[in-house]
Structure 1
Amino acid sequence: MKIYPVEAGNFKLDGGAMFGVVPKTIWNKTNPADENNLIDIAARCMLIEDGNRLILIDTGMGNKQSEKFFGYYSLWGPHSLDGSLAKYGFHRDDITDVFMTHLHFDHCGGSVNWNKDKTGYEVAFKNAKFWTNDNHWEWATKPNAREKASFLSENILPMQESGQLNFIKRPEGDYSHSKELGFGIFYVDGHTEKMMIPHVQYQDKTIVFCADLIPTAGHLPLPYVMGYDTRPLLTLPEKEKFLKAAAENNYYLWLEHDAHNQIITVENTEKGVRLKEIFRCEDILS
């Protein structure tokens, strides 16, 4: 098995929204804001090469939205999904599986493109199976008013229309091992319904793709919950359970949204679970 970081494009989000009730004087120390109160955000996807399978976890924001739409998110930096794939000698047509932690636009927008004449949409990975779970699909395709702006139909429905959509069978509890994809999945409901957190066994390490459960290294303290979470009081025990396991088992936490810290480990302290070490992807994957 080989694992590659796929940088799908950097953007910015409001720091207050990213940290909920935490005052700016506190979160600004770890995630400094610009003059517009925006903080740096990454879309660091994961590519797993395992035998004849090439599995992409999340796809970033994509490039099909309007200039006005992208203007809200202050895109920056040179990264792109296609450029990152090409860096490792891959093309999007090589991808066999696209696993989406959840269907918010900044995690699945790159799964769908305009067609050639921009009269409609087509899946961006023509040879891939697209993976979600039935509970989250139902939640995303019949969105509540709070999340409606994050679940964009043009990002979601073409996957079903293509016939390439697949549902992962969920367990009764909150953790299972996916026979279809070969890694473990922790299910959480605080951010959105049945978001999936992959646990990948790589050599002698467990690398966990944190999605929006731990978006940046600055979000480790339990009360540091995003304003975007639909059930923040549920996020708290989910984070607590996850971080306890991460500290006890020395998980390597892959931070999808942290533009400056790629992979971290954590440890138990008197203040709770806190940052232990910071790594570059190449340090862990080489």
Structure 2
Amino acid sequence: MAATRTRMISAFVMGPSAILAVLFLPTSWMAVAAALLFLGGLWEWFKLSGVEDSLSRLLLVALHMLLMVALAWGSHTAQGGTSALFDAVILVGVAWWVLSLLWLARYDFGSHHEGWSRVVKLLAGTLAVIPAWCALVTLHGTPQGSIDHGLIPKGHVWLLVALMTVWAADTGAYFAGRAFGKHKLAPRISPNKTIEGLVGGIVLGMIVGMAVVSFTGIALASLPAVAILCMVTVLFSAVGDLYESLLKRHAGAKDSSDLIPGHGGILDRADSVLAALPVFALVKALLGL
């Protein structure tokens, strides 16, 4: 009971704080806030990958911070900026999450902590975190006009659509899995996840995503495309969740850390988002939304 109460209190603090940040922070500040959050998750990722030495992890995180700075600097032009670099990184990120399905199908790959295994997992951290950050910044900064008399840019709302879709999917999967779950999704990686839970997550994620997207002023004719966007996003959010579960299984860890009371670490909260954001950004662009 106390654990559930702690979990709920943490959620009530984190949820509204994240929504307010997405809607009202300028994109430059949102990029900084997201970078700090994602780099914190990367710190945990490196520990799960077998980098126990804190100084080594700190150096690796610092290198990724410099990579983020370099991407932002390289995207700046005299005319204001170009998204070409960010778009290229997003494509790389989507390709990685597609390839990660092969890893998930081979549980033992990388489980024995050899040198090559650690290197591959470190590279996977880069391919997960940097594209997700690029996608977040790209979505948040999308110059598509504004709503509410210019108070909330549409790009901010599109990022909220992505995040709310993933958050709703997590909730739907939890309750549908508990109520109807009989068929295991990936029993060796995450015994509690079920196919019924995944279906419940897809349904609730689509409902919430389509509800939030209405605040962009989107035409009704575009809602089927939004439904497809949300469905694909939820499917890949499940891939991100499973991949982090795989890392934890290999490392013999229950959570990525104990930073957030009742919720584990940053990576435990962000795993689904890391996979979902690049896919959301790419599919949104392909569908012309």
Q: TM-score, normalised by structure 2?
A: 0.25
In terms of fraction of residues, the more strand-rich structure is: 1
* Larger RCO (alpha carbons 8 Å, 6+ apart): 2
TM-score, normalised via structure 1 length? 0.25
Higher helix share: 2
